Amino acid sequence: MLKVAFDNQIFLEQRFGGISRYFCEMYVELKEKPNIDSNIIAPLHFNKHLRDLKENRNYYIPTTTNKFNINRLVNKFSNQISESRLRKFNPDVLHKTFFYKPQKAQFKTVITVYDMVHEKFNQNLEFIESKKISVINADHIICISESTKIDLLKYYEIEEQKVSVVPFGVGKNFFSDSYVIPTYQRNSELVFVGRRNGYKNFAQFIKAFAGSIKLRKNFRIIVFGGGEFNEFEKKLIKDLGIESNIIKKDGSDKVLKKILSNSVAMVYPSKYEGFGLPILEAMALGSIVFTSNTSSMPEVGGDHALYFDPNSINSIQSTLEDRLVTNSNFSQDFQDNGILWAQKFSWEDCASQTLRIYQSL
């Protein structure tokens, strides 16, 4: 029996989020495999993905307010109980979920590197140092794309044989169990998903959109998630004169799935991503994907996405205009092949590849 533990770090850090979802999906898949005992050790946590898992012995705290220092106290008690539970479980492999506990563990350890954003953009030097120690101390390192592996080896002096690439998967709930609406029957909406700050490049995208009479006349933008617009974004949208073209929505995966199932395209203009899972989720639902020609995006989108230079407003604008207005007849094959491509990325494969790494240790 191989015993695998996931620690509590990310479940104290994220309420929702791709990383916490990744570990929950891994846990579920490993539970289905013979001779594996997997355990998420996060006794007190704030994470809704973990809350929704069946048969887990962790207690969800339904608030992340700092009133009365609740966050600090929950973190303190969760860490204390976690250490006791971890010693009792005594795993063969500990898969650390984040980089805030950089000390060398008494167990064989695996750590996943999701991106090298902080290193590339020189953000949060204290975090970078903690991450570096965590990565160097690990017995094996997983990168979620070849692009991330290349960046990791560029910034850190690590033996390449200690590093494996294991892509994320697409949740089964993102594949339609019924009729997929053809592109030509979909709403004239472009979807932007997730955070919008900095390298996510939202401002560059809406400037490109606003500069095109054809796009403004024919399309609206649904901005999903990422919190409410800040004052800078509100002013920018107003100054660009596209207030009537912008729709702000938030909600669960169920809401996002409905939006992507009915919208003609998703635009993902990020300048850098460790993986870019929304690309595959949009494809799975039959939405055409426009994205950047940098970092991991071409690796994830393959031949089934349409690419632009994220640093060029003209490139973003001309690519969208050319394919959405001038040559708007997407073949059914393009949509179908995108769905088939997304199906190649499953959490079952992700867990199987990761399990082989555990077994090698």
Q: Which residues pair with 222 in a beta bridge?
A: 191, 247
Q: How far is it, in rounded angstroms, from Cα 205 to Cα 213? A: 15
- For the entire predicted model, the pTM comes to 0.92
Instruction: Write down all domains in the chain, each with its CATH number in brackets.
Output: 2-169+346-360 (3.40.50.2000), 172-343 (3.40.50.2000)
What average pLDDT does this structure show over 278-285? Answer: 96
Residue 354 has pLDDT above 90, yes or no: yes
Determine the pLDDT at residue 75: 84
Neighbours of 75 (CB within 10 A): 19
C-alpha 173/C-alpha 138 separation (Å) is 33
Residues ≥6 apart with Cβ < 8 Å to 315: 308, 309
Q: Which of 150, 177, 182 is nearest to 163 (CA)?
A: 150
Would you say 286 and 261 are in contact if contact means Cβ atoms under 8 Å apart? yes
Pick the residue with more confidence: 195 or 124? 195
Q: How far apart are CA 203 and CA 12, in angstroms?
A: 31
List, for residues 14-38, the tens digit of each pLDDT value.
988 889 999 999 999 999 999 999 9
Q: How far apart are CA 165 and CA 179, in angstroms?
A: 34
